[in-house]
Amino acid sequence: MATEFDDSPTGGFRYLIVRPENGGIADLVRGLVRGGEATAVKFVESSDEDLLGAVAVDHRWVILVSVIACKIIAVFGKPMEWTGCLVEFLLNLFSQNGSLLGLLYNLLHGKVVIPQRGSETFISTIGHLDGRIDLYKRDDLVKEVGDSASGEQALMDLCIIAAKLAYENANMHFVDFYNGWNDFQKQCSTQVFILCDKPKDANLILISFRGTEPFDADDWSTDFDYSWYEIPKLGKVHMGFLEALGLGDRANAATFQAHLQVNAGPASTGRMLERTAYYAVRNKLKSLLMEHKKAKFIVTGHSLGGALAILFPTVLLLHEEKEVMQRLLGVYTFGQPRVGNQQLGKFMEAQLDHPIPKYFRVVYCNDLVPRLPYDDNTFLYKHFGVCLYYDSWYIGQKVDEEPNRNYFGSRYLITEYLNAVWELMRSLTMGYMQGPEYKEGWLSIFLRVIGLALPGVSAHSPTNYVNSVRLGKEYISGMSF
């Protein structure tokens, strides 16, 4: 599919950018009290005046909510960053010295191990939440996908473990590792790694994008950002997620247009190859597919990483990378936010659902992130693809949309808090009921306690997704592809 552009300054595509910096608290208060149309316009930049007026009338509340959320996150941005650095340092200090008692012993004997950020032994907060890195059914990965339920389960397990490992640092042993340029954050912060199942004659190439860092305010702002590009023949796409791939720049619409051209590359935009996640991964993938003639590739990610995982093949399709896409085995995402509107969904389903589904979106219970950005008559973002939904008992089912698709409705409020209580109680007994590999540490249990106040946040933990894949046997055995 070739993407066409007209001669207008915006190149034939439309965009809407929410700019929280364009006003203050007083503007927000006036907007909430008086109805919000004039205030919404103040916080919005658009490609044309008609779109700006329509958005101000029809979407004013989503804009105000987006601005409020981003402003709150911005206020706590630096404290979150400092807290994250301190928490990760202390977690690694305890773990590298053998717990608190080990640290005290080493202090007395002058043998304290000081964690070094960026070293192989330094583990992220996500890694401390769930330390499992071994595959559940390694032998089943040799089976052709679709041959058996256990083979499919093994592939899903590989993907969630890889999605977890994407949070770790570049000194782990991967085929290649990138910190790609993020146009939203204006720094190299989009973390992605590539691995092969074996060094020669590989059968599988895996690409895993890092998700939302727990203490990264910019990552959370991306999830709440309402800004979008409308791409001809494709639909509306979340601007922040495209920028995380290095494919957009809200300060320069022409940059985004250049990225959409067929056979686009870093040279056409003046970008350094190694600074842009999409181009770096695309070129490495092409090289690996040429080297491993029988290999297929799979893309995965948790949270924000899930959004990037599905947008990566989306842009491959825009660039008419047909030979590459013929080697796509599947896309598996975990706790992924919405990435575009219904038109985008129809386009991607037409590409990825035939002859068999290749895109699977795994959602655990009350996880907040898959319910963002908002979806109703006012909010345009829609999910697509096969949704594999697991409840708090790890019983799964294939659905079009997860229950309580917008999270904040009163209908599910009591259930959310009851589930949070149940998940806390279960975390204390998992090691006894399911075996030592399911035992949750104090950090995971502490997150469950936080979940008593914010159920959707604790439900987003990768622990829930690993457990869903490994314990959700009732669903896996009943899957049909």
460 is catalytic: yes
Q: What is the pLDDT of residue 265?
A: 55
Catalytic option among 46, 460, 461, 468: 460
The three state secondary structure string of 418-445 is HHHHHHHHHHCCHHHHHCHHHCCCHHHH
50 is catalytic: no
Query: Which residues lie below 8 Å from residue 35, measured CB to CB, with a gap of 6+?
Result: 60
Structure tokens belonging to residue 57: 């009338």
The three state secondary structure string of 158-205 is HHHHHHHHCCCCCCCCCCEEEEEEECCCCEEEEEEEEEECCCCCCCEE
Element (H or E) spanning 94, and its range?
Answer: helix 77-96
Cα torsion angle, 26, 30, 33, 37, sign: negative
Query: Which residues lie below 8 Å from residue 459, measured CB to CB, with a gap of 6+?
Result: 364, 365, 366, 367, 368, 419, 420, 423, 451
Catalytic option among 66, 303, 461, 468: 303
- Enumerate domains of the chain plus CATH numbers: 12-123 (no CATH), 145-409+468-474 (3.40.50.1820)
Q: What is the pLDDT of residue 481?
A: 33
Q: What is the pLDDT of residue 459?
A: 94
303 is catalytic: yes
Q: What is the pLDDT of residue 477?
A: 40
DSSP three-state, residue 131 = coil
pTM of the model: 0.88
Query: How many CB atoms sit inside 10 A of residue 313's CB?
Result: 23
Q: What gap in Å lies between CA 169 and CA 193, rounded to an integer?
A: 10
Catalytic option among 130, 140, 183, 367: 367
Q: What gap in Å lies between CA 418 and CA 421, rounded to an integer?
A: 5
Q: What gap in Å lies between CA 159 and CA 299, rounded to an integer?
A: 8
Cα torsion angle, 329, 334, 339, 343, sign: positive
Cα torsion angle, 54, 55, 56, 62, sign: positive
Peptide bond into 355 cis (omega under 30): yes
Q: What gap in Å lies between CA 397 and CA 480, rounded to an integer?
A: 11
Query: How many CB atoms sit inside 10 A of residue 477's CB?
Result: 12
Give the residues across from 296 on adjacent strands.
204
DSSP three-state, residue 359 = strand
Residue with tokens 């825009």: 318
Structure tokens belonging to residue 208: 């895993």
Question: Beta strands 204-209 and 187-196: pairing type?
Answer: antiparallel
Structure tokens belonging to residue 123: 């583990």
Q: What gap in Å lies between CA 148 and CA 477, rounded to an integer?
A: 9
Instruction: Answer yes or no: are the C-beta atoms of 240 and 227 closer than 8 Å.
Output: yes
Instruction: Answer yes or no: are the C-beta atoms of 130 and 99 closer than 8 Å.
Output: no
Instruction: Answer yes or no: are the C-beta atoms of 182 and 246 closer than 8 Å.
Output: yes
Cα torsion angle, 43, 48, 53, 56, sign: negative
Structure tokens belonging to residue 326: 């013929």
Element (H or E) spanning 136, and its range?
Answer: none
Q: What is the pLDDT of residue 180?
A: 57
| pLDDT tens across the length of the chain (481 residues) | 444 434 444 455 778 888 888 777 777 766 665 555 555 667 777 777 666 666 655 667 777 777 888 888 888 888 988 998 999 999 999 999 998 899 999 999 999 999 998 888 899 999 999 999 888 755 555 454 445 556 678 899 999 999 999 988 765 555 566 665 555 555 566 788 999 988 888 999 999 999 888 888 878 787 778 888 888 888 889 988 988 888 877 766 555 666 665 555 554 445 454 567 888 899 999 999 999 999 999 999 999 999 999 999 999 998 889 999 999 999 999 999 999 999 999 999 999 988 889 999 999 999 999 998 877 665 578 999 999 999 999 999 999 889 888 877 778 888 999 999 999 999 999 999 999 999 999 999 999 999 999 888 999 999 999 999 999 865 444 444 3
